[in-house]
Amino acid sequence: MHRTTTAAAVATLLAATALGLAPHQAQAAPATTVAAAADASSQVRFHDIPGSGGITLKGNVFTPAGAEDGRKYPLIVLPTSWGLPQIEYIAQAKKLADSGYVVVSYTSRGFWLSGGEIEVAGPPDIADVSAVIDWALANSPADADRIGLGGVSYAAGITLLASAQDPRVKAVVAMSGWADLIESIYSGRTQHVQAAAMLGAAGYLTGRPGPELKTLLGNFLGSRLDKEQEMIEWGRRRSASEQVERINANGAAIMLGNAWGDTIFPPNQYAKFYERLTGPKRLEFRPGDHATAEGTGLLGLPNDTWANAHRWFDRYLKGERNGVDTEAPVQIKSRSDGGYEGYADWKSVGAGGTEKLALSDSEHLFANVDSGANGGILLLSSALDQFVKAPPIASVPLLPRAFAAVWQSERHDRVRRIRGTAKLHTTVTPTKGDGTFVAYLYDVGPLGIGKLVSNAPYTFHGKTPGQAFGVDLELFSTAYDVPAGHRLALVVDTVDPLYIEHNPIGAQLTFSSPRTDPSYVSVPLREQ
């Protein structure tokens, strides 16, 4: 009953916000108090909170029930995700407050009724976090020595960056976020067009993009190669991976969570960032797509990610000895079964050795035609994989060989438990100086139906036509069990709806395996 009521309350509040609050009406309003539907005895107070640069942020505050005068409580600040209003975390904020936290959530600048323009985790956004902390310390029973940050997606990126700038932050839980913005939406030097277009559209619908964002989106989606370095530098300034030394120096305890199939912020960049952290840290990967791993928790339903987030805050803000710091710090869940696996570090995930699929046959293909192999649909395909074990599929024997290069292994006599990051090494000879190809790793059953295990795009510019060059490409990290009797297949084609392709008309690609530099796919396996 409690869970159902909480979910209904959140849904009602979301609907009210969507219908009644226009994103361009950033008007100040006095603090108000309403009863939280999940519990008539508790209240959430809505506030106008001063942000950086003189703007107003729309926020809400939960305080522990029966808070004692003069007593201080640990503080958790939750900026909202991209395009969502201040009530996003109301179910989790109440749970945290019930367990003894002051929780402040606010609509990120530029969205809905908060002031300012969308800065995409720029300096004003990071300054907002510190401004909200200052306000909470002055206007609530928050403890200046016990401050945590958390959030999903956009909030995850902001809070990681804020932990580099504000040494008061002692703990961070960053869910479905990015540490490296370039590796997230421009991996393999390829624009992730569905991700960028969705974020851009959501920004225009729910907020006010600033001039810098408008220009960046135009250049990015317009494939302005002359602006490439400028865009890369813009992304680096918004990447916690560029500030990892400051994060380590400040010493905040960092928990990272993401989904294997996140089509906006793929998992590789989080894993690399995790390995560079030197303070208390935890890394969790689960099946799903962007924010689906923690989505049910936002409705107050049972959720592993949020449960561990609470434990993380309890350990590093309250000092509770709950065991979260003594467990294996890397926790992953395979897409093929329901159990968790613990590892000492990310490098140990694929410590069972590697299996190499030799790409010995030369393959020639024509560009500009979608062969039927693809990475699926943004947000949908990996969610289907999460909930009903239905990843994108392709009939590998029927893929047109003029437009798809295909290599297959022999049938495996036992289960192959793929864990970590598969890597492609090959030699490419183009007929044009620019081009794009996408590599797919499939689990192929007895009938030739391939289930997508992983994929990644690769784009090149300025190559000499007819001259071969080597390629090393990391596919997106995953955990997937290939059943006995199945094969692994590598498929390469040149068109995928997830990505912008740069193949000129009439372009052709040849994939070869020189004797002195053989081509292969290296697949990491779990120890048996």
Q: What is the DSSP secondary-structure string of 433-502?
A: S-EEEEEEEEEE-TTSEEEEEEEEEEEE-SPPTT--EEEEEEPPPEEEEEPTT-EEEEEEES--TTS---
Confidence of residue 49 (pLDDT cuts 50, 70, 90): very high
Query: Residues 380, 365: contact at Cβ < 8 Å?
Result: no
Taking 90 as the threshold, does the pLDDT of residue 325 lie above it? yes
Is residue 472 scored above 80 in pLDDT?
A: yes
- Give me the mean pLDDT over the 101-119 stretch: 98
* Predicted local distance difference test score (pLDDT) of residue 374: 96
Mean pLDDT of 73-81: 98
Residues of the chain with pLDDT > 70, as a percent, come to 92
**Cβ-contact 284, 254 below 8 angstroms:** no
Residue 528 confidence (pLDDT): 67
Q: Helix, strand, or coil here: 61?
A: strand
Nearest to 198 by CA among 167, 221, 178: 221
pLDDT for the residue numbered 44: 85
Yes or no: say if 151 and 78 are a contact pair by the CB < 8 Å rule.
yes
Dig out the tokens for 417 from the structure.
Answer: 């438990």
Which pLDDT belongs to residue 9?
A: 38
User: If you search the block for the tokens 């979608």, which residue do you land on?
Assistant: 370
For the chain, how big is the Rg over CA atoms in Å?
24
pLDDT tens figures, 186-196: 999 999 999 99
On the question of pLDDT at 17 being above 70, the answer is: no
pTM, 2 dp: 0.92
What does the alpha-carbon distance between residue 215 and residue 319 come to, in Å, rounded to a whole number?
46
Asked if 87 contacts 94 with a C-beta cutoff of 8 angstroms, the reply is no
% of residues, the chain, pLDDT over 90: 89
Reported confidence tier of residue 21, pLDDT bands at 50, 70, 90 = very low
Q: Inform me whether the pLDDT recorded for 16 exceeds 70.
A: no
pLDDT at 24: 39
Phi, psi (5° rounding) for residue 79?
A: -70, 155
- 448 burial via Cβ count (<10 Å: 0-12, 13-18, 19+): middle
Residue-wise pLDDT for 203-235, tens only, equals 999 999 999 999 999 999 999 999 999 999 999
- Tell me the DSSP string of 391-410: --EEEGGGS-TTT-EEEE-P
From CA 107, how far away is CA 86, in angstroms rounded? 5
For 362-411, write each residue's pLDDT tens digit: 999 999 999 999 999 999 999 999 999 999 999 999 999 999 999 999 99
Burial class (CB in 10 A: 0-12, 13-18, 19+), 246: middle
Alpha-carbon dihedral of residues 362, 366, 369, 375, nearest 10 degrees? 30
Which residues make beta-bridge pairs with 521? 357, 424
In the structure encoding, which two tokens stand for residue 402, read together?
């003029």
Average pLDDT, the chain: 92
Instruction: Give the CA distances from residue 305 to residues 187, 456, 460, in Å, rounded to whole numbers and listed in that order.
Output: 26, 26, 38
Mean pLDDT of 294-311: 96
Helix (H, G, I), strand (E, B) or coil at 51: coil
pLDDT band (50, 70, 90) for residue 69: confident
Q: Summarize pLDDT for 229-276 with one digit per residue, the tens.
A: 999 999 999 999 999 999 999 999 999 999 999 999 999 999 999 999
Write down the residue that tokens 């009439």 correspond to: 506
Q: Which residues pair with 45 in a beta bridge?
A: 33, 61
**3-class DSSP state of 122:** coil
H or E stretch at 342: strand 340-343
Cβ atoms of 73 and 101 within 8 Å: the answer is yes
Instruction: Please tell me the predicted confidence (pLDDT) of residue 128.
Output: 98
Please report, in angstroms and rounded to a whole number, the separation of the first and last CA atoms in the chain.
43
The pLDDT of residue 338:
76
The more confident residue out of 3 and 436 is 436
